[in-house]
Structure 1
Amino acid sequence: MASISSLGIGSNLDLSSLLTNLETAESQPLVLLQQRQVSYTSKLSAYGQLQSALGTLQTAAKKLSDPAFFLGVKATSSATDVMSASAGNTAAAGIYNINVTQLAQAQSVVAAGQASAKTAIGTGTITIDFGTIAGGSYDAASGKYTGAGFTPDASRTAVPITIDAAHNTLEGIRDAVNAAKAGVTASIVNDGSGTPNRLVLTSTETGKASSMRVSVAGDAALANLLNHDPAGTQNLQQTVQAQNAELTVNGIAVTSASNTVKESIQGTTLTVLKTGTSTLSVARDTASVETAINDFVKAYNALQSTASTLTTFDTDKKTAAALVGDSTLRNLQTSIRNTLTSPQAGGTGDLTMLSQIGVSFQKDGTMSVDSDKLKSALATNLDGVSKLFSSATSSTTGYGKQLDALVTKATSTGGVLKVATDGINTSLKQLDEQYTDMQARVDAKVEYYRAQFTQLDLLVSKMNSTSSYLTQQFASMSSDN
């Protein structure tokens, strides 16, 4: 069967261009579907921007909806190199004079020097317990006690440490102690002498009750190196004495096993850094509340800016933004505005409106903050400001709680924004299906045209061939006559 390699070559007709034009005409419904898809996609993207702006506003509102946030207390040290502090909600406001006379420190003891850290010493079991050294006298030069007593800390259980043949060197003892995690860290210090390698044991906890007592059951060499009882035989030399932090708070003596001193002032934690004096000011943290309210206003204004961008009509280009005339956005804006302008329930003298703390609406729909008025409200009536945004007894009272609930409802299943978004997604899915079906029909129609044009091309080609043949025959007959 004859065939055509290129459409139109047999008939010398521009069938290829004709087919292309027919395909373009048949595809016009697809173009319209694509335009609708672009429109819906733009609207979906706009709803995404709106939801993001709502989320930022909700985060700011939720922070203000928590009554505990308004109970925050700030502790300020006048000498941060001496002491820092943090305060919880239960901290008592006031001014406190702090005098740090001693820092807490961990005990450190050192063994006699060894010529090599790799030479075997002996095997056995080391047991380290902790307690308080009291009484007697202490010679700082030798690092030894005379006539002292040792009272074990009953809250800490001694951990036996096995020194086997694989750990019977100074390095092995160090590794075995560290692996046991017995409240002690071990290291080796080279002091540069003829027997320079010295095992150092340091308590992992500070405080007087973390002094060490070391007993050894095993080889004599191991016992002679490490046996250490502050109330008896002391084979180790104390290089750092265990001690508590000592300070006074308004003249009252305070001791702490740690340099982190908790509850010496109600609800406050002190971290002492060096000896010296400092004044600690503990007061309600109005600065954080002021920042949060300003952030809330900024988030509201950002939402208004987003809404304005999404509903703009460009008169020069005659183009409209994705949500021009959109009822979902308009209804959300109205609901939020109504929420923030409706007075809160309150008794006589209570704050009931945002304007009472310096937050007011402008003609363009945004909000502004009168900083002086806000600072004054926070300084004189922090509890009233708290009730304006939150409530410890009601889930529906306070602008923070109400706005948080409003956004949650709008973006949850059945909410106006969720319904609108789901509707667009459904429409896009339907358009995709319609496009696929229509594309199949267009392709089928174009293939039908192609088949018809191919047949026409073949027919005309044959007719042209026949015409050429007959012309040649007539010409031949004429020449014979």
Structure 2
Amino acid sequence: MIDVASIVSQLMQVESQPLTKYDQKTASYQSKLSAYGSLSGAVGVFQSALGGLTKSTDFKGLSATASNSDVLTASAGAKAVAGNYKVNVTQLAQSQTLTTLGLASSKSSIGTGAKTTISFQFGSVSGGFGLAGTTLNSTVARDGISNGSLTINGTAIATDSTTTSARALAEAINAKSTTTGVTATATPASTSGTLFAGFGNVRTGADGGYSLSVGGVQLAAQGANTAAGAGITAASLDTALTDPSTVLTALTNAGITVSGKAADGTLKFTRADGANLTVEEAVTGSAAAVSGGIGNGGGQVNGGSSTTAVSGISLSSTDASPITIAGSNPAAAGLTAGTGGSYLGGAFTQDASIASGVVTIDATNNSMEGIRDAVNKAGLGVTATIVSDGSANPYHLVFTSNATGANASMKMTLSGDGADPPDSALADMLSYDPAGSQKMTQTSAAQDTKLTVNGIAVTSHSNNVGEAVQGVTLTVTQTGSSTLNVSKNTGSVKTNVEAFVKAYNDLNGTLKKLTGYNADTKTGGALQGDSTAQSVQSQVRRMMTTSITGLTGSLTTLGQVGISFAKDGTLNLDSGKFSKALETSFDDIGALFGAVGRSTDTLVSFTSSTSATKPGTYALTVTQMATQGALTSSAAVPASTTIAANTTWSVTLNDGEPSNSKNTTTVTIPAGTYTAAELAKVMQSSINGASAFSSAGSSVTASIGTDGKLLLSSAKYGSASNIAVSSVSGTTTDSLFGGATPTAGKDVAGTLGGHAVTGTGQTLTGLAGTDVEGLVIDITGGAAGDRGTVSFSQGYAYQLNNLATTMLGKTGQITSRTDGINKSIADIAKQRATFADKLTGIEARYRAQYSRLDVMLSQMQTTSSYLTQQLAAISANS
């Protein structure tokens, strides 16, 4: 028998020898693919190391460190200036809180359910917040105020028998101001305006004498035996009180002012400091020795008189919080026990930069809970909550402004439906005007952050204070003092540059290993002689040894900052030279590494560029400035304009083609009578308060021009900027704008270095295919015409980053090469598979052939055995 399997196996070993060559080719390609993987990774790591160096702003960062982080923290931007600052925070910003009187139920209906609109406006308030006391009782002038009669905010005010005037009471209160947070001011003490009405001519008999004094200053005196009309008269008093006058000088020195005339009965004396003011007639002689004088116009006998004018006090809360009055007899001080406070003589000035809004209350939501939910849902910049104090009428509706700062005080005005008045119960509960009706209690006043920087006073509406130190944002957390050190962040720059040097050396080492020859092992790298790998190496090195073009600073090469190549191709960093460059040319180092755009016009700013933007200096010509869509009234608005109740307008803002309904909404203008300036503020805040616009990032500005006309403008610039208004109800738009037609905005237009650009709003962008492709600049002011130049340069890190991106991109060198290798591997695999399929056929043929031969040999052996047997038999028979 033939060993077919062994024979076929040996034959197939010979036939299969080409498979080894296929495997060897595949292994070779796999080795290169792995090597390119290493190369790709090294280029990626190198690119990552460039991340902190590609923008010039990466080199302008400064660090800001506060000595007392409990008081403030700080961050410094690119515009910050290194230095040391002393910061003293005396007040933190807070929001205003208003609280209603208590009700027994938060769910019960309030009022009749008549449709009522609540308008929320925000602004600043002038005038002190506190309590106005009444005039002190005349018994106080005699007996004083007993100790324990008055406490303010839990602190007892020390009073006694000497506290006989408003001035003395104010002094006693102010002695405790540091603990009460309250200061007192005595109101002026004035004599009655009719005290000298009917002043009679003074007559003195043989033993009579008369003198008249005010506040201890003698106005006039008359001796004995003077007939009526021959001495003191109303006219003579007026003469004595006419400047120049020693009497008038004496009164002035005593703090007493004079108004009116005795002759017409209007003579009045006032003491501004609130001290008691006594008018005294002193009479001597027998019972009828003197006649005439005060109240004796008919010549009646004058037995002498003394009249004391007293005043009261007003209290002012230093932080505009409620004041609590208590004690055994606060009425003696002209005050009423309890907690409260209001703005006294206040005025409200709306801040147009804060959006206002309205909410409608009717029979569906006229409960505390309904009002709360309606306000919160409307997104007015106010949070409404309900607080229970556990009393008989425990539920209070509390409104808190979402914004902090003294400019975020609330004004709440209620109006009815059309000509109907607002629901009286709601108006009596919710009306709050610092200049008028204040139905709610202010439990927390809107206030600014107050601090000093190197002794200079600074205020901020929030606790994040920007630009108190240029380019630095302070976040204050409590009152107190701290020093602030702002310094160049050279440490991070040096770290980034060191990482850049290391990453290049790692890349260079990887390339050297992959493309070089190891004399010790007598083996070459996987990419030895590979043109793509050699190209990567040469491109990177060539880029790093070429000077940067387009720079306007003092640095143009890496060698100038201490970065140079060693003989073995590695990159070295001279720390000393680099540190010196950081000290002397910090800003220019940014340009050496990153992409930098600079303009000679301060109103032109570089925004961005692309890898296609070519370095150079380009002349900028503006042929058309960007404008805003606007509507200007046809005539000057009057000095006073009344907006009717239920005034609503349809406003369309920044609508496009085709029109989108989302760009149109209904706006409510709060009812009231406004000056021209106030009208502009009301319109701006009302339109900006519409959620449809605020959610879309659209807004308007309103102002009164020098010609007195009302100007309403979209805050947006360009062809997408437009505005239109039309009346829905109440005061019409035509009554204010006179049927004027709005104008649409225009995009900026011009050229850069003579190249075509496209304008969008205030932004110019270089067109594809030009030297300025992808260069983006903003033109925020100025006029059409020649606007200087815009210079652009690409630093080393920026160029290398773009190069790495190109190499690793879908069509880049490395990607294309690895794609080619993968294709070759796939082709070999396909060829190998085809050849393997062919070997299967060959093996089958061999097996068939040798199997038939084996059968034939078997048959022949059988025949041979038979013949042998037969021959043997014949032989035996013979």
Give your verdict on TM over 0.5. Answer: yes
Percent of matched pairs sharing the same residue: 47
Q: Where in structure 2 are the equivalents of 1:192-341 lying within 5 Å?
A: 192-216=390-414, 217=416, 219-310=423-514, 321-341=525-545
Structure 2: distance between partners of 1:274 and 1:341: 54
| In the alignment, structure 1 residue 180 sits paired with structure 2 residue 172 | no
Structure 1: distance between partners of 2:393 and 2:871: 130
Q: Which stretch has the larger CA shift, 31-40 or 410-419? A: 410-419
Shift of 1:401: 4.6
Shift of 1:246: 1.7
| In the alignment, structure 1 residue 30 sits paired with structure 2 residue 19 | yes
The equivalent of 1:43 in structure 2 is: 32
Structure 1: distance between partners of 2:27 and 2:340: 84
The equivalent of 1:137 in structure 2 is: 129
- CA distance 1:396–1:154, shift in 2 (3 Å): closer
Shift of 1:245: 1.5
**Contact 1:113/1:198, CA 8 A, preserved across alignment:** yes
| In the alignment, structure 1 residue 53 sits paired with structure 2 residue 251 | no
The equivalent of 2:698 in structure 1 is: none
Structure 2: distance between partners of 1:164 and 1:17: 103
- CA distance 1:197–1:26, shift in 2 (3 Å): farther
Residues 341-362 of structure 1 deviation map (CA, whole Å, 9 limit, x = unaligned): 5566899x95565454343444
Shift of 1:472: 11
Residues 228-285 of structure 1 deviation map (CA, whole Å, 9 limit, x = unaligned): 3333333322221101122223333222212222333333333222222333333443
Shift of 1:46: 1.8
Structure 2: distance between partners of 1:475 and 1:22: 41
Secondary structure in 2 aligned to 1:37? helix
Q: Where in structure 2 are the equivalents of 1:378-397 lying within 5 Å?
A: 378-386=582-590, 388-389=592-593, 392=597, 394=616
- CA distance 1:24–1:181, shift in 2 (3 Å): farther
| In the alignment, structure 1 residue 431 sits paired with structure 2 residue 828 | yes
Match of 2:102 among 96, 110, 113: 113
- CA distance 1:227–1:352, shift in 2 (3 Å): closer
Q: Where in structure 2 are the equivalents of 1:54-73 lying within 5 Å?
A: 54-61=43-50, 63-73=52-62
Secondary structure in 2 aligned to 1:135? strand
User: Any unmatched runs of 5+ in structure 1?
Assistant: 1-11
Structure with bigger RCO (C-alpha 8 Å, 6+ apart): 1
- CA distance 1:105–1:468, shift in 2 (3 Å): farther
Secondary structure in 2 aligned to 1:271? strand
**Contact 1:396/1:402, CA 8 A, preserved across alignment:** no
- CA distance 1:471–1:414, shift in 2 (3 Å): same
**Contact 2:84/2:485, CA 8 A, preserved across alignment:** yes
Structure 1: distance between partners of 2:371 and 2:862: 108
- The code of the aligned residue for 1:107 comes to Q
- CA distance 1:169–1:438, shift in 2 (3 Å): farther
Shift of 1:17: 5.0
Shift of 1:434: 1.7
Shift of 1:418: 4.8
- CA distance 1:223–1:346, shift in 2 (3 Å): closer
Shift of 1:58: 3.4
Residues 196-215 of structure 1 deviation map (CA, whole Å, 9 limit, x = unaligned): 44332211111122112234
Structure 2: distance between partners of 1:196 and 1:411: 70
Shift of 1:183: 0.7
| In the alignment, structure 1 residue 98 sits paired with structure 2 residue 87 | yes
- CA distance 1:160–1:411, shift in 2 (3 Å): closer
- The code of the aligned residue for 2:32 comes to K
**Contact 2:72/2:477, CA 8 A, preserved across alignment:** yes
The equivalent of 2:389 in structure 1 is: 191
Structure 2: distance between partners of 1:471 and 1:185: 121
Structure 2: distance between partners of 1:97 and 1:239: 33
**Contact 2:342/2:442, CA 8 A, preserved across alignment:** no
Shift of 1:223: 4.0
- The code of the aligned residue for 2:373 comes to D
Shift of 1:296: 0.8
Structure 2: distance between partners of 1:314 and 1:435: 33
- CA distance 1:180–1:430, shift in 2 (3 Å): same
Shift of 1:441: 1.9
Match of 2:70 among 81, 85, 90: 81
Structure 2: distance between partners of 1:153 and 1:397: 45
- CA distance 1:207–1:452, shift in 2 (3 Å): same
- CA distance 1:215–1:286, shift in 2 (3 Å): same
- CA distance 1:415–1:251, shift in 2 (3 Å): same
Q: Which stretch has the larger CA shift, 263-272 or 16-25? A: 16-25
- CA distance 1:296–1:472, shift in 2 (3 Å): same
Structure 2: distance between partners of 1:270 and 1:424: 57
User: Any unmatched runs of 5+ in structure 2?
Assistant: 132-321, 324-338, 417-421, 598-614, 617-791
Shift of 1:220: 4.6
Residues 380-438 of structure 1 deviation map (CA, whole Å, 9 limit, x = unaligned): 23245345435656477653355345545655688654553343233223223322322
| In the alignment, structure 1 residue 151 sits paired with structure 2 residue 349 | yes
Secondary structure in 1 aligned to 2:478? coil
Structure 1: distance between partners of 2:821 and 2:496: 35
Secondary structure in 1 aligned to 2:466? strand
**Contact 1:184/1:202, CA 8 A, preserved across alignment:** yes
Structure 1: distance between partners of 2:591 and 2:343: 65
TM-score, normalised to structure 1, is 0.80
Shift of 1:379: 1.2
Secondary structure in 2 aligned to 1:89? coil
Secondary structure in 2 aligned to 1:38? helix
- CA distance 1:135–1:315, shift in 2 (3 Å): same
Structure 2: distance between partners of 1:158 and 1:386: 45
- The total of aligned residue pairs comes to 469
Shift of 1:107: 0.8
Structure 1: distance between partners of 2:360 and 2:443: 25
Match of 2:120 among 122, 128, 132: 128
- CA distance 1:177–1:396, shift in 2 (3 Å): closer
- The code of the aligned residue for 2:833 comes to T
Q: Which has the larger helix fraction?
A: 1
Structure 2: distance between partners of 1:477 and 1:244: 139
Secondary structure in 1 aligned to 2:33? helix
**Contact 2:549/2:793, CA 8 A, preserved across alignment:** no
Structure 2: distance between partners of 1:197 and 1:219: 20
Structure 1: distance between partners of 2:807 and 2:437: 77
Pair member with larger Rg: 2
- CA distance 1:19–1:253, shift in 2 (3 Å): same
Shift of 1:378: 0.7
Q: Which has the larger strand fraction?
A: 2
Residues 124-162 of structure 1 deviation map (CA, whole Å, 9 limit, x = unaligned): 443322222221432523353143232333444532223
Structure 2: distance between partners of 1:219 and 1:71: 60
